[in-house]
């Protein structure tokens, strides 16, 4: 299980954590490039994790930025931005790609 971004009630977070269900232990992984709340997360057909849009960044606004996590390298890389910045969206992975659905553009 992964927890990505969000907020702690005071600050928008760039943290990324994993829970190992066998060991019942949390581990801290590489931080996101952008602080994000209300983002969409999806596991892609390539077994990488995608963080899409959300609210935050340097201006605390709706984000178009997206990034991909490689669990083998434990690092995030920037990928193509959304066409429209948005928060509170959903994402779904299909064999031909990842789709960003809905949301609010601010």
Residue pLDDT, tens place only, 28-60: 999 999 999 999 999 999 999 999 999 999 899
Asked if pLDDT for residue 106 goes beyond 90, the answer is no
Partners of 69 in the β-ladder:
49, 76
* Number of domains present in the structure of the chain: 1
Q: Which long-range contacts (CB under 8 A, 24 or more apart) does 76-85 make?
A: 76/16, 76/30, 76/31, 76/32, 76/33, 76/51, 78/33, 79/50, 82/52, 82/53, 85/53, 85/61
Quick check: is 74 in a domain? yes
Structural contact between residues 56 and 15, judged by C-beta atoms closer than 8 angstroms = no
Which structural domain, as residue segments, surrounds residue 22?
2-101
pTM, entire model: 0.93
Quick check: is 75 in a domain? yes
Q: Which tens digit of pLDDT belongs to each residue from 53-91?
A: 999 998 999 999 999 999 999 999 999 999 999 999 999
């Amino acid at each position: 299980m992964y927890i990505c971004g969000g907020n702690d009630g005071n600050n928008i977070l760039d943290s990324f954590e994993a829970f190992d269900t066998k060991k019942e232990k949390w581990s801290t992984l590489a931080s996101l490039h952008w602080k994000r709340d209300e983002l969409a997360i999806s596991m892609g057909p390539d077994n990488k994790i995608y963080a899409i849009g959300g609210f935050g960044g340097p201006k605390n606004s709706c984000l178009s930025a997206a990034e991909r996590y490689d669990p083998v390298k434990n690092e995030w890389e920037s990928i193509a931005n959304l066409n429209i910045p948005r928060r509170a969206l959903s994402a779904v992975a299909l064999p031909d790609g990842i789709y960003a659905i809905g949301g609010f553009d601010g």
